[in-house]
Amino acid sequence: MLRRAAKWEGNAMQVGNARYLKPADLPEAIPVFPLTGALLLPGGQLPLNIFEPRYLAMFDDALASHRLIGMVQPVFGEHRAEETAGDTPSLCQVGCLGRITSFAETGDGRYIVSLTGICRYRLLEEVRGGKSYRSFRIAPFITDLSASDDEQSVDREALLAAFRAYLEANKLEADWESVERASNMTLVNSMAMMSPYGPAEKQALLEAPDLKTRAETLIAITEIVLARSYGDVDTRLQ
């Protein structure tokens, strides 16, 4: 099912019980969760399975304060699986801030969490606070907090054609009733977050300057993947 996990009210974003309107509504520094291949976008929802002690501590601290976590990818080629306690891998400069909107303990030491995207941000400088996890000062993309006015600029027909071609090529099904009901923003961002593409493609989708560009980027990536894997992409997209 495609759904928007946050809503825009006037010039503010409502996420859970919190409203975000201006920079002062966000902390200057946030804890960051580096995760290769994970994509969170404003208004989207990202499920997480937390088990490493340092990130369990990070979520404990966030729950006790602002409930905010910054998702970000390590620079491509540097993987979390290779980290040790003393490693500080390079991170991509743009990530997405999320609010913890769902939280459960499993009984075996893990947390099952859902983050709802608020806005993208740019990393500024690392904050040394003596924690086992990393924190950074950030510059938030404040325009993400306002309702997008470019939904009508999305080529919905081309986007759905690419989506349908990908599903058919991979013998997959979709809930077309939900797809047809979804707004352009929900459709583009949900498809981008669920897409099975690599870290570089996910980062390109995250950094797209507007919804129209994100949709065009998603279509282009899908066409490239189909052409490489199956050929005759033009026929599939008709």
With cut-offs at 50, 70 and 90, classify the pLDDT of residue 151: confident
With cut-offs at 50, 70 and 90, classify the pLDDT of residue 6: low
pLDDT for position 116: 95
Mean pLDDT of 157-170: 90
Q: pLDDT of 87-123, one tens digit each?
A: 678 999 999 999 999 999 999 999 999 999 999 999 9
Q: pLDDT of 189-203, one tens digit each?
A: 999 999 999 999 999
Residue 94 corresponds to which tokens in the numbers above? 């743009």
Q: pLDDT of 31-76, one tens digit each?
A: 999 999 999 999 999 999 999 999 999 999 999 999 999 999 999 8
DSSP letter string, the chain: ----SSEEETTEEEETTEEE-SGGGS-SEEEEEE-TT----TT-EEEEEE-SHHHHHHHHHHHTTT-EEEEEPBPTT--GGG--TT----B-SEEEEEEEEEEEE-SSS-EEEEEEEEEEEEEEEEE--S-SS-EEEEEE-GGGGSPPS-GGGS-HHHHHHHHHHHHHHTT----HHHHHHS-HHHHHHHHHHH----HHHHHHHHH-SSHHHHHHHHHHHHHHHHHHHTS-HHHHT-
pTM, full prediction: 0.88
* Full set of structural domains in the chain with CATH: 7-145 (2.30.130.40), 151-232 (no CATH)
Residue 80: pLDDT over 70: no
Token look-up 């600029």 returns 153
d(CA 189, CA 42): 8
Answer yes or no: are the C-beta atoms of 123 and 72 closer than 8 Å. Answer: yes
pLDDT higher for 120 or 83?
Answer: 120
pLDDT for position 81: 45
